[in-house]
Structure formats: structure tokens, C-alpha cells
Structure 1
Amino acid sequence: MYSVIVVADDLTGAMDTSQGFAARGYEAAVVADPEADKGAVEEEGAVLGINTDTRYDDEGDAARSVSEAVEATPARTVYKKIDSTLRGNFAAEVDAALDAAGSELALVAPAFPSIGRTTEDGVHYVDGTPVSETEYGDDEKGPASSSIPELFASVDRPVETVSHAAVVSGDDGIAAAVERYDRPPVVVCDAVEDDHLADIAAAADGLDALYVGSGGLAAHVPVRGSEPDFESSRRFSEGGALGVVGSVSATTLAQLERVPEEAVVPVDGTDLVVGEEPDAAVERAVRRLREGRPAVLTAATDESTIERTHAAGREAGLASAAVRERVASGLASAAADVLDEEPPSGLLLTGGDIAVAVIRELGATTIRLTGEEVEAGIPLGTFADGRAAEVPLVTKAGGFGSEETIVNCLAVFSEDDA
């Protein structure tokens, strides 16, 4: 039995949320590829992150995958990771996880104030803007509303919003909400500061809660049955770092602009759509790594390249999901070719789809977290198995980080303080 399992709908989410436990000294591993053999995964331990890879799945399929993950992995505490911008099938997945875990409530707090995600009066914000009014609302699985209770309308459960004042007072807070209903309720908690998440976790102590949140709440959830005794022993080899950027978010594009132009290795997305191999890009990336310099493979350097790729997909009769899959697969194949020629000092993967595609291409299943992070929500790990075993790895969600984040991630692989 695990002390905690983190069930996430994409890999970067499984990583940054499991980091909330690893940073406190608990040994944590993440199953990256839900389709792979789990031979590298211990049968018990402190924290196990599980990537169901269901963000863009049909709602019913996503719910079944979550149920199966929870039921197949005994744990004292279940943490259902949801996207901090409320994308995906999160209401259906929370409902499924609550049934599978048999908990007495779903404690929902998706806020991550340190990276600009806050919740107030049940409304969720990104950098002060209601989330449905941001670029994330335009995602094909984006939130139709910024009101979290409204997004749970499709779930046949009582839903309550609890203010931070009520959480702290306890008079009409989390425990009181549980007592009012015969069926396990969904309790949505406000949080506009990181300390508010600590108060929420403390207020739920003693309750059998399904914790539901992004990476912020995970830093405060108690771990029962394990002691924080893990110490990192990571080392970086000589050579250049390799980045693979699959996200097309505005945040990631702004971060790419800060990368020195010579380090960016563009891959033609239209070629990937039609199945052409990016041999020239692979050769250029290998050459830079051999010179001890970083290389960043990407098929999306700006909005115009993104639109050209999608136009090529439409011309080929492909849906947007198929275009994403072909680009991710092509970038992953290119990254694997580079690693086979010249192992990097470390690997940066940006975007959940590309992260899974690369890890799958490398024959890996599991990532072990070191407990360290480059910035909030951007953890450092190492491959546990596959062709890149022991290679350091950083995963970053597309919308996370400052404008210098990609540069900082590449730079961390050149440091060796062991």
C-alpha cells in the first residue's frame, strides 16, 4: 500500500503535484506512460503519481480510467490532481475518483497562488482574470465557466463553496458541509494565498477526504504511514542539455523568445504532419550537444508556425487531435534519435503530450523525483528505466513559469553540486 497516490490527467500534472510531497522529503515516483509495463514501479512506498493521460479523452472513458487507477492502487490517501486552469474532464474524473476511493467528501482546491491561480467565492482566476476568459477557455477541453460549482453541475452530488474565513473558523466549514448531506459532497474551497491551502489541509485533518487540487494543495496534505527521509543524490553529466517543446501556449512561446536564437532548433510541423523525418534538425541538435551547448527542438516558434501546421493538417483531412498526435510523435522520434547519437546532460520536456510521447519513445515507464525544483511547479527528476535511465529530467506544463523559465531549466543541467 502507498501512503499517497496522485492520479493526474497528464504527465506534467502528475509530476508537479507529486513534487509537493517530494519537496518535503517523501520518496516519490511517477508512472509516466499509462500503457506501459509497470516493471520499474515499486509495489508500495510513500508517494506514487499516476498519469492516466485522459485530459482529451471522451468523458466516459476518462472516468473509467480514473476509477481503474484508484481501484488498482491501494493507498491511505488519494489525491485527484486537476488542472490549475480547469481543463479536461475534471468534474467527471473527480466524481469517479470519489466513488472509487469511497471517501466522505471531495475537498476541491485547485488554487496555486504562487503561479497566479486563485479561487475566490468559488470563481477561479489565472493572474486575476476569470479562467474561462483566458486562452485556456479556448482549449477544446477548456472550462465553459470560471465558477467551479457551475462546472460540477453535471455531477449528481451536493456542491458547496467554503470561504477561507469559514475554513479557518470551523463554524460552517468543511466538516459542517459533510454533516449536511447523506451523500459525499463536493466541497469547493477558496484560496488566494499559499497559506490558505495549508489552512484547508489542516481543516480536513481527521476527515476521510479525497483531496482534489493542482500542485499547490499537495504541499500541505498530510502523509500517513511514511516518514520524510528521502535525500536526493542527483548528478549531471558533461555536455549540452536537450529541450523538447511541444506546448503552444502563449506562456511557452514567450519563454522560447528568451532562448538564444542559435539554441532553438526548429522542426517543420507541416513535415511532421505528413510523416517526413526531420533529419536536418536532428543533425543540428546532435552537433550542438557534442559541442557542450544546449539545443531546443520545437515545431512551434510562434503563432504563424502553429497555424501553418494546423492548415497542413486540415488539408490532409486531420482533426486537431490527430495533428497534435503527429507533431508529438514526430518530435519524440527526433528527440530519441538525438539521445541515441549524443546523450544530453539533461532533458527538458514542455507540454504533457510531448512529455509522454518522448518518454514512450525512450521505452521508459517511471520517473523518480529528486525533491528539487527549478521554479514553483517545475520539478527535477531522473528516468528510472528505458534508454535514458538515470538521465536527469525536468517537465514543465505549458502555462507554467516566468519568461526566463526555459532558459533556467536548461541552465540547471550544467550545475553539479553533488
Structure 2
Amino acid sequence: MSLNPPDRAAGSPLVVLADDLSGAAECAAVLPGCRRILLDPAAPVRPWETAVIDLDSRRRTSAAAARLVARAVRRHAPTGARLLKKADSLLRGHLAAETSEFAVGASGLVVAPAVPAAGRTVRDGVVRLHGVPLHRTEAWRAEPGPVPRSVAEALGRADTAVLPLDQVRAGATHLGGSLRSALAHGAPVVCDAETDADLDAVAEAVLRLPHTVRLVGAGGLTAALGRRCGPVAPRTGPGRAPAAPRPVVVVVGTAHPGAVAQIAQLTLHGARHSALSAESLLGPGDGERPTARARAALEGAPVSVLSICGMRTVDPSAAPRLARALARSVAAVLPEDADLVLTGGETARRVLDELAVTTLLPVGQVHHGAVHCRTVDGREVVTRPGGFGGPDSLLRMVGALRSDRSRAVQEPNASDGGPR
């Protein structure tokens, strides 16, 4: 793949530091200049290059996550790139520890975690999910610790300033002045946003500030920055053009309730589904039983789905172990010519680690948050956060990987018509 310096419409290149793979891919898909998602934080980034780096810090301890961010900032801040710390739009992960290190050496910090396309907005400095304050929803049911009641609380900064919607919508000149005034006090500035237009206004304003002002935001802010550089053009890379569709293996590592309906849509259309028990994945024997079940599910199937059952009865702290065990089972039996659909950032990263993948080349979005990539050796991969997408999400993701969409899955029949 050629990596010649691209034409840039707006200022410095952007380096995005993500805490998990699905978030990294979500950002890469909406940045016109991004050609690589780096899974190795030590991989070099060219001085002119816009790149997204998965620090894989979500699964670490708070202290370890902070160290990863600190090293990345020391590596990339001197290059003159503008830095963006990709934050979870529901404030999960080690936001306070990572942001503290991310701010070291910055002349200011602008925080905008809204993703309106996913119903995640910010008003009065409070994240809202479909209009409901985050702390009144069940979005944190699998998270350790209490849900933060505001972005400031998640940042661990009582001095955080909030830029309300009336100032965000007051016009470019007024917004720019408000940002400069708030940043002059040295505290992080949280920007309210309920629409993509709000985020566009924030992006326009921050790009007029020095590149030493750093950004903390989710996919919504990243997309707004991308829109400043023009539409995302189709990307090319080392793909394959097989005479027949390649097999697709779908790995569902999320406990989100919507995953059940998404799997049901696939199996209704003929995909073969095998649910591996959490108990067997976490039990002794190096995963021999789940690996055998995975092999049986994949054998001869054009489209197969592997998921975990019994996750809701497992201690949430065991989730990283479950993801690793599932990834080992998948990697042990994955055919060389199979393409992948991976849901859940932890699961996606662990599967790619097992396959020794260190770079992904973004191709495009299947739908919001579902990102089509290629590995350098030509394997097609679609990743997606666990909680994204409607009931047909997995069906659409599989369809994107099949050269003949009409053959991506078969019509249901009497012997193979539902989830198992």
C-alpha cells in the first residue's frame, strides 16, 4: 500500500489514541486521511500521517493505562500532530487516569464525548443516552464502580468548565472566544452537543486553536474533524477477488442484550451458530472442549457464528479472561481463507492478537460503528462495538464481506432455521 503524503484540507495531521480496537476502527473510518490502524503503540507514525493507534488500554489497570497514554504522548506530541484521545461515549474505561496523563504538556484540553448518531448526547456537562442521564440508565450494569453523574466526575476534575449549548450554537466567532476564555483558566473544557452540527461547530473552533490544545472525544467528534477535510474516499489495499465467496466467521463476545436478536437474524438465514459456555471457556483443560465445539461449528459452513452463553452469571471482572479464551479457541480452528466479523472491542483485539495482526487498513463503514478493514495479507475484517447496531447489524456486516451478497447467507429451511 502506498503511503505518500496526502493532501490535507485543515492544518496539522491528527493522531488518535484509542483505548480499544472497535473505538479505534470507528475513528479511522471517518477520517479521510487515515490509512492505517496501528495495533502496536510503538509502531512509527510518519510526520505527515493521520493515524489511529489502539493502545489497548481498556483492559489494563488504571495505572498501566495511564503509562501507555503517557508514552504515546511523549512519542507523538513533539511531531506537531494534533492529538485526540478517543474516549468511550458512555465514559467507560480509565478516563480520569488516561486524561490526566494526556493533558501533560498541553496548552488546553477540550472534551466532547457526544455521539448523536448513537443517541449519546451531552447537555449541561451530563452524558445522556436517548435523552436519559447516564446514571439513570443500565448502560453501566457490567462496569465496576459507580456510574459517573457528569463528564467532570468521570474526569476526576472538580474544576472542569462546561460550555453550554447556547455558547456552542452562538456562531464561530463567539464560540472561539468562549473556548479561549475557558481554556485560559487551565481546566478541561467540556462541550455540550446534541447534534452533529454542534460537533461540527466545536471541531471548526478547535482547529483554529494551536495544535498544542488537545482533544478528548468519541467517534462523533472524530467524524466532525473528518468532515472538515472532505468526504471519506474509497480506500484500496491488498484484497482478494475470489471466484467464490470466502467463508465468514462471526465472533460475538458481547453480553449486550441486542446480540441475541442479531444472531437470530443470521441463523434465520442459514448461518451455523454455536454458543460456547462461559464455564467451559474459563474452566481447566486449556479450552479443549470449546475449541472442539468451535471446530465443529466452522467445518464446511459458509457463515458460522460463535458466541458465549452464560455471560450474565459470570463476574464482570472475568470478561478479559473470557475474551482471551474465546480468541484462542477461534484462532486454533480458523481456516486460512476465512474472513472475520468481530463484535466487542476486547474480543476483536484478542482475536487479532492471536492471529499476530499488528496493522489494519480501513476500507469503509458498513453502518455506524461497524468498520470494514483488511489485514496486510488480505484477510477481510469487520469490527463493531458490542452495543451498536440494530437486529440486522450482523447480517449487514456479513453481507459486506461476501463477494456475492445474495449468497452471503441462505434462505431459512426446516433443518436450520433458528439459533441453537
TM range (shorter): 0.7 to 0.9
**Contact kept in structure 1, 2:37 and 2:359, CA below 8 Å:** yes
Distance change >3 Å, CA 75–CA 268, structure 1 → 2? farther
Count of matched residue pairs: 382
Matching residue within 97, 102, 109 for 1:92: 97
Quick one: distance in 2 between partners of 1:125 and 1:224? 26
Distance change >3 Å, CA 184–CA 18, structure 1 → 2? farther
1:11-410 matched pairs, under 5 angstroms: 11-21=21-31, 24=32, 26-34=33-41, 38=43, 43-73=46-76, 74-99=79-104, 102-141=105-144, 144-152=147-155, 154-155=156-157, 158-169=159-170, 173-180=175-182, 182=184, 184-208=186-210, 209-221=213-225, 231-233=235-237, 234-235=239-240, 237=242, 238-260=245-267, 262-274=271-283, 275-277=286-288, 278-289=290-301, 293-300=302-309, 305-308=310-313, 310=314, 320-321=316-317, 323-339=318-334, 341-344=335-338, 346-370=339-363, 372-384=364-376, 389-410=377-398
TM-aligned CA deviation for residue 215 of structure 1: 0.7
SS in 2 for 1:403: coil
Between the aligned residues of both structures, percent identity stands at 29
Quick one: distance in 2 between partners of 1:240 and 1:202? 44
Distance change >3 Å, CA 75–CA 253, structure 1 → 2? farther
In structure 1, what residue type is equivalent to 2:24?
A
**Contact kept in structure 2, 1:349 and 1:355, CA below 8 Å:** yes
Alignment deviations for residues 100-137 of structure 1 (CA, whole Å, 9 cap, x no partner): xx332211111111111111121111222222222322
In structure 2, what residue type is equivalent to 1:166?
Q
Alignment deviations for residues 345-365 of structure 1 (CA, whole Å, 9 cap, x no partner): x21111111111111110111
**Contact kept in structure 1, 2:204 and 2:228, CA below 8 Å:** no
TM-aligned CA deviation for residue 179 of structure 1: 3.0
In structure 2, the gaps of 5 or more residues are 6-11, 406-420
TM-aligned CA deviation for residue 227 of structure 1: 12
What is the RMSD computed on CA atoms of the aligned residues?
A: 2.8
In structure 1, the gaps of 5 or more residues are 311-318
TM-aligned CA deviation for residue 83 of structure 1: 0.3
Distance change >3 Å, CA 33–CA 250, structure 1 → 2? farther
TM-score between both structures, scaled by the size of structure 1:
0.82
SS in 1 for 2:328: helix
Alignment deviations for residues 326-374 of structure 1 (CA, whole Å, 9 cap, x no partner): 32122112221232x3521x2111111111111111011111112x101
SS in 1 for 2:332: helix
**Contact kept in structure 2, 1:86 and 1:143, CA below 8 Å:** no
Distance change >3 Å, CA 183–CA 236, structure 1 → 2? farther
